[in-house]
Amino acid sequence: MVCAISLCKGLWKYRGGPQLFWMLVILASLAFPHAADAVVSGTPAPRPTAATEQCANESCHAKLLNRKVTHESVAQLKCLDCHEYASIGEHLFKRLNAPGQGCISCHKKVLPKPDEALSIHAAAKDNCVACHDPHGSNARYELKQTVPDLCLSCHKNIKDSLASSSLVHGAMKPDGSCSGCHVAHFSKLSKLQKEPQPQQCLNCHDRPVQTAGGRTLTNMAELLKDNPEHHGPIRLGACTACHQPHAGNQPLLLSAAYPPEFYAPFEMDRYRLCFTCHTPDLVLQPGPTAPTGFTDGKKNLHWLHVDQTKGRTCRACHEVHASRQAFHIRDSVPFGDGGWSIAIKFTQTPTGGTCAAACHVERSYDHGVRPHSIPFVALLPKAQALVTAQQPMLSPTTAPVEGGKAVSYAVPSPPFTPGVFPCTGCHDPSVAVNTQRRVLQKPHVDIQLHHDEEHRWCLDCHNAQNRDVLRSASGEPIPFSESYRLCGQCHGLQFRDWKVGVHGKRTGEWDGRKEYLLCVNCHNPHSPKFKALTPLPPPIRPNVEK
């Protein structure tokens, strides 16, 4: 005590000391709020030894009770539900933090069971107090701030985009906005989404919506209902592939450039949006090997359509959301200023199609039997991943026995057409099997059997009882991932060579991990002969005269 007094004295005498002195006094009083009692009374005040109404008396923690929303335990003054004494004598408390003791001991449903959720809010995992005030607050759910301010205090990128964008999604504007589409703690969907798209979006867009700019947005629910041919992202539940969910600078909150006018000449930069998913070669490559089914075997007909100045481009033929015709081809095109429209009639055939009496006279194309390696609609890897993610993956198979010892190699999944597997999704086992030879109907119009077709038929290889597997000649079921066993029944020499790596392609390490391909990764099982390729350019002849 003597020491302290002499210290104070010294401090006071020091130049500028009085200010410093008072500052220290204030700091000390903040740090030890009960010290003043001791100074005033001269004897230490009795410390509360149990959580009672004492905690909430006027001079101590009363303000915890004066909020709009108060935590149940606080209201009932059950302080020890969450706190425990660290040192009774010094009135020091600590939070109950051990596993199962904190918030989660009562709020059991806040976190998902294992494998129940695809996305968990990072803050919800271990830091409830990042969003909630544990005693109470003036916002609902004892949140520290109101939504969306609370969310935006962490999600700065969205805050920035809201500030810098010319268009803000209407769903962001009313109070409590974020929680319109997102849940707070965990979700079975990615990014804490409440419902899968497009259902989530259709909750609002099931009626004409007026935008702030005075534009009326289409009743999308009705449009999708009336037009069964949906654009891929809608089928895959990814409205956000094209539209920004929060804010953006492009009209209609599109995520990249797409011209608002109907006839706009084709330039990559104008149609960036389409090429966030589609390979540009779909349009730009003039030859028949372009990754599209819209070819007559000589030219890429996409290229033919856009390669002129008038501006017949993506949207001139395709409806962006949905239509009644195959490949979501639009029903009509606008003509002139008088509000006229001319109908397009597209008829799909097994190996091509016919487009009649709209922009041009009736024209047909036939792409023939397509090489298996050229996709009908080429997608960039990211979009392809989205498509693949929707397909149930077949597990990698273990197989060939090499040199007497069992060696397992991972082979890739069979190259199914997107959305086609599992086959039992359409082929109901209870429905009688049609064993007639016939030209196949949709969705199998692309299958043309050129595989010993005189002697073979679908059900020689496909299992009629369970379409999700194949069958061997003896009727044994063979999974699609082990189709080489089926092929090997007839092609024994190739099978033998394949097992030792002499037939077919191997990649990877010559002395380590090798990747095999299934027979069907290179050969279309329905038409297995290799298709002709365009050779890369020949070497330049040496010019001896120069």
Footprint on this chain of another protein (rule: CB under 8 A): 373, 402-403, 493-494, 497, 500-513, 522, 530, 532-541
For residue 296, the SS3 value is coil
For residue 84, the SS3 value is strand
Q: How far is the CB of 470 from another protein (least distance, A)?
A: 23
Return the number of the residue (391 or 494) whose C-beta is nearest another protein: 494
What span, in angstroms and rounded, lies between the C-alpha atoms of 146 and 140?
8
Return the number of the residue (428 or 511) whose C-beta is nearest another protein: 511
Q: How far is the CB of 504 from another protein (least distance, A)?
A: 5
For residue 433, the SS3 value is coil
Return the number of the residue (360 or 546) whose C-beta is nearest another protein: 546
Return the number of the residue (202 or 399) whose C-beta is nearest another protein: 399
Return the number of the residue (182 or 499) whose C-beta is nearest another protein: 499
Q: How far is the CB of 541 from another protein (least distance, A)?
A: 6
For residue 460, the surrounding DSSP H or E stretch is helix 458-461
Residue 16 main-chain phi, psi, to 5 deg: 80, 5
Q: How far is the CB of 488 from another protein (least distance, A)?
A: 14
CB 305 within 8 A of CB 317: yes
Angle (CA) 350 360 374, round 5°: 35
Which has the closest alpha carbon to 237: 189, 290, 294?
A: 189
Return the number of the residue (58 or 509) whose C-beta is nearest another protein: 509
Return the number of the residue (160 or 515) whose C-beta is nearest another protein: 515
Q: How far is the CB of 523 from another protein (least distance, A)?
A: 10
Residue tagged 């059900």 (tokens): 459
Sequence-ordered list of residues with C-beta below 8 angstroms from that of 179, at least 6 positions apart, any chain:
147
Return the number of the residue (266 or 498) whose C-beta is nearest another protein: 498
Which one-letter amino acid corresponds to residue 37? D
Sequence-ordered list of residues with C-beta below 8 angstroms from that of 379, at least 6 positions apart, any chain:
277, 278, 279, 387
Q: How far is the CB of 492 from another protein (least distance, A)?
A: 11
Q: How far is the CB of 380 from another protein (least distance, A)?
A: 20
- 38 C-beta neighbours (distance < 10 Å), count: 12
Spell out the long-range contacts of 294-298 with Cβ–Cβ below 8 A and sequence spacing 24 or more: 294/365, 294/367, 295/365, 295/367, 296/352, 296/365, 296/366, 296/367, 297/366, 297/367, 297/368
Q: How far is the CB of 356 from another protein (least distance, A)?
A: 30
State the DSSP string of 171-238: GGSSTTGGGGTB-SSEESSGGGBSS-TTHHHHTTTTS-EE-TTSPEEP-HHHHHHH--EE-HHHHTT-
Sequence-ordered list of residues with C-beta below 8 angstroms from that of 426, at least 6 positions apart, any chain:
443
What span, in angstroms and rounded, lies between the C-alpha atoms of 127 and 104?
11
Return the number of the residue (141 or 530) whose C-beta is nearest another protein: 530
Q: How far is the CB of 366 from another protein (least distance, A)?
A: 17
Return the number of the residue (48 or 371) whose C-beta is nearest another protein: 371
Region of residue 498 (left: phi > 0; alpha: psi -120 to 50; beta: else): alpha
What span, in angstroms and rounded, lies between the C-alpha atoms of 462 and 453?
14
Q: How far is the CB of 453 from another protein (least distance, A)?
A: 22
Return the number of the residue (175 or 509) whose C-beta is nearest another protein: 509
Q: How far is the CB of 364 from another protein (least distance, A)?
A: 22
